[in-house]
């Protein structure tokens, strides 16, 4: 009986974690839809590179782009090039992003008119992996609960 209760708790935790991931994805999707209509300001790329990250899961790479822009005479800097870009063990798309934003390039910066410090270079790009991961956790958790009842 104790093992079954432990399994139920674990499955419930997985389902709740999945719901949390789905909520994050919904918030990202809302920002994605708003950001596509944000005004732009002229920006300049200050640095653009591929950053290597080593941890217990191995080596992954993330795009590191720093740019500056000005809105209503106020200077801003940001390193957000898209909504929640994350990192990957694959470098092809990351290298392509770095190549699109060479140091010194003048680029359009999409900024939130309600908070000009909130900006990004590619508002039309979003990662769906958080949503699909959340759905997988919810589905696995619910199936595990049903299996253990």
pLDDT tens sequence across 26-72: 888 888 888 889 999 999 999 999 888 887 777 777 889 999 999 99
Query: Residue 131: what pLDDT?
Result: 75
Domain locations in the chain?
1-36+126-149, 38-123
Q: Which two tokens stand for residue 15?
A: 């389902």
Q: Which two tokens stand for residue 87?
A: 């990192």
Query: Residue 40: what pLDDT?
Result: 95
Q: How far is CA 140 from the centre of its chain?
A: 23
Q: Which residue has the tokens 């720093």?
A: 66
Query: Residue 130: what pLDDT?
Result: 74
Residue 132 pLDDT level (bands cut at 50, 70, 90): confident
Q: How far is CA 143 from the centre of its chain?
A: 28
Query: Residue 84: what pLDDT?
Result: 67
Q: Which two tokens stand for residue 4?
A: 């079954």
Mean pLDDT calculated for residue range 128-141: 82
What is the tens place of the pLDDT at every residue in 67-107? Answer: 999 999 999 999 988 876 655 556 777 788 889 999 999 99
DSSP for 96-107, written as a single string? HHHHHS-TT-EE
Decide if pLDDT at 108 tops 70: yes
Cβ–Cβ under 8 Å, residues 93 and 60: no
Q: Which CATH number fits domain 38-123: 1.10.3470, 2.40.50, 3.90.1690, 2.60.40?
A: 2.40.50
Q: Give all strands of the β-sheet with 115-120 in edge-to-edge order.
A: 74-78, 58-71, 40-55, 106-112, 115-120
Alpha-carbon separation of residue 144 from 2, 122, 147 (angstroms): 16, 39, 5
Can you name the residues that pair with 51 across neighbouring β-strands?
62
- For 73, the 3-state DSSP assignment is coil
* Radius of gyration, CA atoms only, the chain: 20
Answering whether pTM is above 0.85, one says no
């Amino acid at each position: 009986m104790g093992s079954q209760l432990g399994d139920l708790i674990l499955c419930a935790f997985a389902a709740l974690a999945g719901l949390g991931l789905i909520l994050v994805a919904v918030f990202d999707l809302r920002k994605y839809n708003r950001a596509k209509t944000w005004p732009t300001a002229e920006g300049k790329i200050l640095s653009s590179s591929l950053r290597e990250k080593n941890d217990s899961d191995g080596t992954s790479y993330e795009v590191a782009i720093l740019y500056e822009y000005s809105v209503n005479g106020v200077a801003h800097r940001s390193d957000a090039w898209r909504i929640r870009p994350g990192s990957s063990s694959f470098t092809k798309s990351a290298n392509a992003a770095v190549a699109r934003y060479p140091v010194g390039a003048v680029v359009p910066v999409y900024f939130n008119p309600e908070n000009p410090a909130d900006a990004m270079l590619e508002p039309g790009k979003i990662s769906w992996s958080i949503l699909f991961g959340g759905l997988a956790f919810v589905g696995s958790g619910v199936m595990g609960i049903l299996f253990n009842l």
